[in-house]
Amino acid sequence: MATTVVRGRTTGSPAPAHRDGNVLRWLGAYTSSAVGDNVYYFALSWAAVQSGTPAQAGVVTAVSAVPRAVLMLGGGVLADRYGPRRVVIGSSAVRALLVVAAAALLLATSPGLWVLGAVAVVFGVVDAVFLPAAGALPARITAPGQLARVQGLRALATRLANVLGGPLGGLGIALGGTAGAFGCAALLIGISLPLLLAVRVGELPPDQRQERGAVVAELRDGLRHIARHPVLRPLVLCIALGDLGFVGPMNLGLTLLARDRGWGSAGMGLVLAGFGAGAGLAALLLTVRGRVPRAGLVTGCVAVAGSVAIGALARVPSMAGAAAVALVIGLLVGLAGTLSGALLQAHAGPAYIGRVTSAATLVSFGVAPLTFPVVGWAVQQWGTGPVFAVCAAVCASGGAVALASRALRTAELP
């Protein structure tokens, strides 16, 4: 039987990722945890709105991005030092306990905004450790040739979590108040733990291990690894620019666009459904196909095309037209994001995967949410059209970086 090295463990010829029991256990854990995250943020937003003004509620829901932005690179160091599986299990347990504590507080008293803000900050601190490890784990549980398929499965799980999070949070509030919603989130995060314990991850080969040093020294070493790598350097920049230009318009910007067009919440929901359908289609395509030839070139091209669609969204007058454009955005941006994630894990050194993941996701989870006030102010000053156009240009610059780099443009998946 042929053998394959799976990021540190030797196996027989691997089954496709969607038929690999080890990958499916990870997928179940990731899905449960992601749904729990969505329920948690729904419950936090609801509790904040009930306790203060909309502006204060916005601060509470956004404040967790600050510790993520500050600490996420350090979280990548911990993922590489102790192994992503161990870090994911430990941080998931802490996250579940934290949400249980929030539920208990709501049952015992009516906490003020400062208590909810403190919960959000602590959750953000733990997230700074959890997110790099969660992003690094797929590369350690499957063969390199299955990375695109695994990233497709992960994207499908993320879409499912986005769809289920709101309804489950609303059901929890209906049955048990805000405390019930927090309890539901804690249960879902907790369910991921036994599944994670059953996931098999082998040790790195001796020649790929690194001696432990100071956290700062290991962080510098990881950043040097990215800076010197011909594919990772432009790829991380491409991902960062794409996230920076995408997150603002497709979150707060879309809400303001629906308000200006008079579409209401139903119209906004339709546009979001179009985006989700497109992103889900892109994830399904990669899950089924498993590999895309000339992945680097395709990533750059679809990133640029998706940017054009983002700019066009603010120019479409009808709700149905906007939903159709959103579907195209979801398909193109989803394809670019999934391919770039697979390329990242394929080219990052196994000993550096946590630090590379933390650098690549820093903007998406830590920096981009902090731009919401800037996006809101800019829309108030100049309207949605110019703001969407500028954000689209930022996204397009990420695709241009990918196309301008010969190493990334010619990069292939295993």
Q: Where are the alpha helices (DSSP H) in 109-231?
A: 113-136, 147-197, 215-228
pLDDT score at 288: 84
pLDDT score at 311: 92
The CA angle 383-388-391, to the nearest 5 degrees, is 130
Note whether residue 276 is domain-resident. yes
**What pLDDT band is residue 7 in, cutting at 50, 70 and 90?**
very low
Structural Rg of the chain based on CA atoms: 21
Q: Compute the distance between CA of residue 142 and CA of residue 14 in angstroms, rounded to an integer.
A: 8
Q: Compute the distance between CA of residue 209 and CA of residue 206 in angstroms, rounded to an integer.
A: 5
Q: Compute the distance between CA of residue 20 and CA of residue 22 in angstroms, rounded to an integer.
A: 5
Q: Which of 134, 168, 200 is the last residue of a domain?
A: 200
Note whether residue 255 is domain-resident. yes
pLDDT score at 5: 40
Note whether residue 309 is domain-resident. yes
Instruction: CATH number of the domain at 179, please.
Output: 1.20.1250.20
Which residue would you say has higher pLDDT here, 383 or 356? 356
Q: Looking at residues 128-148, what average pLDDT do you find? A: 88
Q: Where are the alpha helices (DSSP H) in 52-112?
A: 54-62, 65-82, 84-108
Q: Looking at residues 115-143, what average pLDDT do you find? A: 91
Q: Which of 156, 171, 200 is the last residue of a domain?
A: 200
DSSP-derived letter for residue 198 is T
The pair phi, psi for residue 3, each rounded to 5°, is -115, 150
Q: 23: domain range?
A: 13-200
Positive/negative CA dihedral, 144, 343, 200, 31: negative
Whether residue 275 sits in one domain with residue 175: no
The CA angle 298-303-307, to the nearest 5 degrees, is 150
Whether residue 196 sits in one domain with residue 261: no
Note whether residue 332 is domain-resident. yes
Three-state DSSP class for residue 9: strand
Query: What are the DSSP calls for 331-364, one per residue?
Result: HHHHHHHHHHHHHHHHHS-GGGHHHHHHHHHHII
Whether residue 373 sits in one domain with residue 336: yes
Which residue would you say has higher pLDDT here, 7 or 410? 410
pLDDT score at 301: 96
pLDDT score at 134: 92
The most distant pair of C-alpha atoms in the chain lies apart, rounded to whole Å, by 65
Note whether residue 414 is domain-resident. no
Q: Looking at residues 126-155, what average pLDDT do you find? A: 89
**Does residue 42 carry a pLDDT above 70?**
yes
pLDDT score at 4: 39
Q: Compute the distance between CA of residue 182 and CA of residue 63 in angstroms, rounded to an integer.
A: 18
Whether residue 277 sits in one domain with residue 247: yes
412: number of Cβ within 10 Å: 14
Look-up: residue for tokens 């996250």? 95
The CA angle 6-410-151, to the nearest 5 degrees, is 40
Q: Compute the distance between CA of residue 46 and CA of residue 124 in angstroms, rounded to an integer.
A: 18
Q: Please, what is the angle between helix 353-362 and helix 232-247, to 10°?
A: 30
Whether residue 386 sits in one domain with residue 248: yes
**Does residue 2 carry a pLDDT above 50?**
no
pLDDT (tens digit per residue) in 167-217: 888 888 888 888 999 999 999 999 999 999 999 986 665 545 565 667 788
Q: Which of 176, 200, 224 is the last residue of a domain?
A: 200
Among 80-89, 239-248, 283-292, 336-345, which is the least confidently predicted range?
283-292
Q: What number of CA atoms fall less than 13 Å from residue 295's CA on the CB side? A: 25
Whether residue 159 sits in one domain with residue 31: yes
> How many structural domains is the chain composed of?
2
**Does residue 314 carry a pLDDT above 50?**
yes
List all residues 6 or more positions away from 221 whose beta carbon is below 8 Å from its beta carbon. Answer: 210, 355
Q: Compute the distance between CA of residue 64 and CA of residue 214 in angstroms, rounded to an integer.
A: 26
Whether residue 168 sits in one domain with residue 70: yes
Q: Compute the distance between CA of residue 155 and CA of residue 160 in angstroms, rounded to an integer.
A: 9
pTM for the whole thing?
0.85
Q: Residue 149 is which amino acid?
A: R
